[in-house]
Amino acid sequence: MSPIGATPWCGYSSKDVQTLQEIVGVALFTFRAPLMILPGQQRFSKVPWMVPILELLPPTSIGHLKESGLSTIFVLAKNYNKLVHVWESVTAMEELWHPQTNSFVFPEFEAMILLEELEIMLGLPRYQRGEELSISYTVEQINSWSILAYITTKKNDFYSMTSGMHVHLLPIAQWITFQCKRKTTNYTAIAKAAAICICCVVLFPESDGTISFGNLSIIDSISEGMKIGQAVLGFLYAGLTSVALGGPFYGSVIALELWMGMHIQFRTTEDLTTECKTMLNHPLAYVGGRLHMSTRAWCKTAQVKGIQAWRKYLRNLTVADFDMCPRFMHGRMIHLPQRTGLALRLLGNGALVSYNPDRCHLQCGAARTVVPLLSHFPPIQERKRGDEQDERDMRSAIVHWEGCAMSVIQAEVEEDDDVTKEYLEALKKIQPVARTN
């Protein structure tokens, strides 16, 4: 079973989850023990076989990956072993995640990774209203063998690539190596196999060296022109919630670090003549150009070292310290719930995940008002593919995306002081953690 649906609620009964949803305006998980190491971070270690197979890919197969909208993912995967994840900052950031609101709760505001931000940062095909049929998900049971049949029809290959409800990446990488060294002309199949490898490492990192059938199906749909941003974002949200409830972290840590880099860590500066050393091993060093961010940037957090320093910095982060509208989001259209009660939910093969951009007023270019009430939907609803109720739930979620409101992000927002004070008082009640060290 994919961890997006299972891990976050491991150890909690359905009654516990229902109670969690009903406690609106009450601080949750106040006494979580401080994390010295992020559970699950070992699954983001170096991948020794990644660069060799990507260097062997024929130009035609690389062309197929680019046509599918995976150019940025290819670049990140090719440089994956050069990246240095600053786990202290990621851990401190995770501690601000609220599993009831699916947002980061700072002292003065809420923020989240918007769907539009994720799609732009990772170069994924962007969802547009009216394209709901192209959102990648399935309501049917997934036949992994039919997906892998595009790669090979040999039974021995199938058995070596799969176990339980997961697919192993190393045998797929070995198959790519064999095909490339033999100089076969099966370029499409090679591209499909490479897409599984790079997307698993960059977008859907799960347990070491494997990918669930659900996420395999998402990746397979890319070549058919499907939009996978919702599945990627929902998987990351679920991974953050998993840690908040005592489980391991999973999801695209690269997406999280890109988001933190653009909003919190770096600022573009025209007159700098030297490269920012802090950024040299950061994902932005490889894809920052398309986000209007170069390595000649000012690092606001260069002096923040260690987990305690990061906790202190983030817990005291003000509105002025957080870049609400990075340049790559200027004038962008974003999707919002049509009105209170018509909540948006991210569609994936493992779960329906609550998506609440209307809570993050300033980030969406609007003045802060009172904190919105939560939806009656659970923050994460595990899916049961092939079930009639699941199909109805998915159709309902699609209808809400069809009728969602559209808004243009504004760089400057004017606020009413009295209303803002009311907002801040309400925000204090939903602080996710209160650590003592």
> What's the pLDDT tens digit per position in 64-80?
999 999 999 999 999 99
Contact (Cβ atoms closer than 8 angstroms) between residue 295 and residue 280 = yes
Residue 436 falls inside a structural domain: no
φ and ψ of 32, to 5 deg: -60, 135
Mean pLDDT, residues 39-43 taken together: 70
- C-alpha span between 351 and 374 (Å, rounded): 18
- pLDDT, mean over the chain: 86
pLDDT reported for residue 413: 85
Instruction: Tell me which of 15-19, 104-108, 229-233, 426-430 is least confident.
Output: 15-19
pLDDT reported for residue 15: 46
CB neighbour burial string for 141-172, b if at least 16 within 10 angstroms, e if fewer: ebebeebbeebbeeeebbebbbeeebbbbebb
Residue 434 falls inside a structural domain: no
- Which band of pLDDT confidence, cut at 50, 70 and 90, is reported for residue 157? confident
Kindly tell me if the per-residue pLDDT of 2 is higher than 60.
Answer: no
Mean pLDDT, residues 132-152 taken together: 88
- C-alpha span between 110 and 319 (Å, rounded): 10
Residue 398 falls inside a structural domain: yes
The DSSP secondary-structure symbol of 281 reads: T
In terms of pLDDT, which residue wins out, 410 or 258?
Answer: 258
In 319-401 the beta strands, taken as DSSP E runs, fall at 333-336, 344-347, 351-355, 380-382
Percent of the chain with pLDDT over 90: 61
In terms of pLDDT, which residue wins out, 140 or 155?
Answer: 140
Residue 168 falls inside a structural domain: yes
Instruction: Tell me which of 75-89, 185-199, 201-215, 270-284 is least confident.
Output: 270-284
The top-scoring range by mean pLDDT among 23-32, 162-171, 232-241, 261-270 is 232-241
pLDDT reported for residue 198: 96
In 244-324 the beta strands, taken as DSSP E runs, fall at 266-268, 297-299
Contact (Cβ atoms closer than 8 angstroms) between residue 384 and residue 142 = no
In total, how many domains does the chain have?
Answer: 1
For 121, residues 6+ apart whose C-beta sits below 8 A from its C-beta are: 255, 258, 259, 262, 287, 291, 328
Residue 118 falls inside a structural domain: yes
The SS3 assignment for 260 reads: helix
Residue 358 domain boundaries: 3-428
Burial label, 107 (beta-carbon count in 10 A; 0-12, 13-18, 19+): middle
Residue 437 falls inside a structural domain: no
Residue 433 falls inside a structural domain: no
Burial label, 177 (beta-carbon count in 10 A; 0-12, 13-18, 19+): middle
Alpha helices in 251-368 (DSSP H): 253-260, 284-287, 306-315
Q: Which two tokens stand for residue 11?
A: 């150890």
- Which band of pLDDT confidence, cut at 50, 70 and 90, is reported for residue 25? very low
For 309, residues 6+ apart whose C-beta sits below 8 A from its C-beta are: 88
Mean pLDDT, residues 14-30 taken together: 42
